[in-house]
Amino acid sequence: MTIYYHDYAGGPNATTIEIPGPSSGQLNFTKFGAMFCTDDPIYKGIKKDSVPIARGRGIYIITALDGTQAQMLMSVVFINGKYKGSTIEIQGSYEQSLVQASEAAIVGGTGKFRLARGYATFEIVSYDPVTGFSITRSNMTVIHY
C-alpha cells in the first residue's frame, strides 16, 4: 500500500507542532530531545486535491545527539474508503534525511488490520523550506488477518 503524508510544519494550519512550542518561533527538527506532535492528512496520491483517506496521528522525538535519528510512534487512522475506522500502528527509529528512505516497523492495527505486522518506508518526495510544507511517500507492507 502506498500513501502520501502532507505535512504542514508552519503557518496557521500547521499539522506538526513542537511540544512545547519552540522559544524561537521556528521548529528545530535536529535538536536532541525535541518532541513533535502530528496530525497529517494522508492521500492515495501525491496531489492534495483528492479526498484524504487517512490521518497520520502521532509523536516523534529527536533521539540522536547529532539530530539525525528520531523515534516515531504513528497511527495511520483511516477515515474514508474500505478501511474506514481501521488503524495501522507504526513504531521505530528512523533516519531524518531528505535524500534517502527510512524504515519503521508496523507493530499492530485495529479493525481490518487486527494483528498487523510488517514494515513501512518513508521518503520525502517534495519539500518547500519557505512554507514548511512537505510530502512524504510511505510504502507499507502489511500482513494481517
Residues whose CB falls within 8 Å of the CB of residue 24, separated by 6 or more in sequence, listed in order? none
Higher-scoring residue by pLDDT: 96, 22:
96
User: What backbone phi and psi angles, to 5 degrees, belong to 115?
Assistant: 60, 25
pLDDT classification of 121: cutoffs 50, 70, 90: very high
Over the stretch 74-105, which tens digit does the pLDDT of each residue have? 999 999 999 999 999 999 988 876 667 889 99
Map residue 52 onto helix, strand or coil.
Answer: coil
H/E element holding 28?
none
The pLDDT score that the predictor gives to residue 25 is 63
How far apart are alpha carbons 65 and 127 in whole angstroms?
24
Q: Kindly report, residue by residue over 31-61, the tens digit of the pLDDT.
A: 888 899 999 999 998 887 878 999 999 999 9
* The pLDDT of residue 29 is above 80: no
Q: What's the whole-model pTM score?
A: 0.88
